[in-house]
Amino acid sequence: MLINDLISSRVSLAPMAGITDYVLRSLVREHSKTCLLTTEMISSEALTQVKDTDIVKRDENHSPVSYQLSGHKPKMIADCAEYLQKYADMIDINMGCPVNKVVKGTDGCALMRNIDLAEEIVRTVKAQIKIPLSVKFRLGYTMDELNYVEFGERMQSAGADFITIHARTRSQMYAGKADWKRVSELKRNVDIPVFANGDVNSIESAEQCLEESQADGVAVGRGILGDPTLIYRIEQYLNKGIYLPPPTLEEKIEGMRKHLLKEVEFRGEEVGLKFVRKFYPYYVNGFQGASKCRGELVLMDNIRDINKMLDEILMRNRILM
Ligand SMILES: Cc1cc2nc3c(=O)[nH]c(=O)nc-3n(C[C@H](O)[C@H](O)[C@H](O)COP(=O)(O)O)c2cc1C
């Protein structure tokens, strides 16, 4: 597939470690048939050690799907990328992760301070794979090092086919507001498509982000928490002018039941239930007493009790409505 086919929907699922796993990608795909999905970051060091890992699992209908690699050793990343071609429609290189553990090892956003190495990674991977290659980076490492335009230009000349840019610096981590306007400067200076990312969590913010960034599309991260329909709803609006409302509490609770069941199927009951707890605040909210319910839900360790509690939440809220 060519890059323009992979991103034709103008909306992608941003990679999120511990979030955009096989299950969440499947849930997003139930609604959006065409958005570009992205896996969680896959460490090239780890994949080199163990190939048979759940992190690479996909279904037939997951295409278009991009597999994201992290690391700093060009040949190792290229070998992993070559291997991942049996699953992936595109390979993405993580050049934006701000986490200490990652940047200390010169992976993630640390590559924005080492453009030569970043370039070598792109060149080496590009030479070894037959599918499109993308990079995901930030505005720079700090506000004093806003090198995203030069960085993007150099990734393009090294062979990148596509860019996703999170419009914050590494120092900002996730604080403050994503600066979508800056993305337009990158857009003006590269020919490859650019998706803007950061704080797109509704149809309205997607529209505003596209206007300010002049980007070719948007990548949605945290907005899909508790609402796997968001990407589909943004696509429907951008491509057909149809405005679908956010899910009701009833729909969110149904969404949570499904998410829970699928994680349990995927990971087994004990691990699955623990894994899915981080999603509860996003599904169970917006009504009086929600925080108390969440507090009780996280202590539950079997599906029957959780479902009973969800039934009670629905019943109570129906009476109040
Ligand atoms: C829990 C979490 C995990 C993330 N993991 C990754 C990752 O593995 N790779 C990556 O490039 N970005 C990762 N990100 C960053 C997101 O892809 C995205 O750039 C950021 O959250 C901003 O977009 P948003 O406001 O739509 O969430 C992660 C973000 C969060 C909140």
Q: What is the pLDDT of residues 116-149, one digit of tens each?
A: 999 999 999 999 999 999 999 999 999 999 999 9
Predicted pLDDT at 319: 63
Residue 288 belongs to a domain with what CATH number? 1.10.1200.80
List the single range of 7-11, 101-105, 223-227 with lowest mean pLDDT.
101-105
Same domain, 108 and 171: yes
Q: Is the pLDDT of residue 202 over 60?
A: yes
CA 136 to ligand 1: nearest atom? 11
Per annotation, catalytic residue among 97, 109, 209, 293: 97
Q: Which residue ranges have their beta carbon within 6 Å of ligand 1?
A: 14-19, 40-41, 68, 94, 96-97, 136, 166, 197-200, 220-223
Name which residue sits closest to atom 5 of ligand 1, judged by CA.
Answer: 16
Same domain, 177 and 291: no
Q: Is the pLDDT of residue 275 over 80?
A: yes
Q: Is the pLDDT of residue 165 over 80?
A: yes
Q: How many Å lie between the centroid of ligand 1 and the Cα of residue 173?
A: 10
**What average pLDDT does the chain have?**
96
Predicted pLDDT at 320: 59
Same domain, 148 and 120: yes
For residue range 278-290, list pLDDT tens digits in order: 999 999 999 889 9
Same domain, 231 and 261: no
Predicted pLDDT at 109: 96
Give the residue-averaged pLDDT of 37-47. 97
Same domain, 155 and 11: yes
pTM: 0.97
Residue 101 belongs to a domain with what CATH number? 3.20.20.70
Same domain, 293 and 182: no
Q: How many Å lie between the centroid of ligand 1 and the Cα of residue 282?
A: 16
Give the residue-averaged pLDDT of 267-277. 96
The yes-or-no answer on residue 80 being catalytic is no
CA 201 to ligand 1: nearest atom? 26
Residue where a domain stops, chosen among 206, 240, 274: 240
Predicted pLDDT at 136: 98
CA 223 to ligand 1: nearest atom? 26
Same domain, 189 and 86: yes
Same domain, 257 and 230: no
For residue range 83-125, list pLDDT tens digits in order: 999 999 999 999 999 998 887 889 999 999 999 999 999 999 9
Name which residue sits closest to atom 26 of ligand 1, judged by CA.
Answer: 221
Q: How many Å lie between the centroid of ligand 1 and the Cα of residue 198?
A: 9
For residue range 226-271, list pLDDT tens digits in order: 999 999 999 999 999 999 999 999 999 999 999 999 999 999 999 9
Give the residue-averaged pLDDT of 165-172. 97
Predicted pLDDT at 321: 56
Name which residue sits closest to atom 4 of ligand 1, judged by CA.
Answer: 16
Domain that holds residue 301: 249-320
Predicted pLDDT at 1: 86
> Percentage of residues in the chain with pLDDT exceeding 90?
94
Which of the four pLDDT bands, split at 50, 70 and 90, describes residue 274?
A: very high
Q: How many Å lie between the centroid of ligand 1 and the Cα of residue 31?
A: 21
Same domain, 109 and 26: yes
Same domain, 293 and 209: no
Residue where a domain stops, chosen among 240, 272, 298: 240
Q: Is the pLDDT of residue 219 over 70?
A: yes
Residue where a domain stops, chosen among 207, 240, 273: 240
Same domain, 43 and 155: yes
- Spatial CB neighbours of 312, under 8 Å, sequence gap ≥ 6: none
Number of domains in the chain: 2
Same domain, 224 and 101: yes
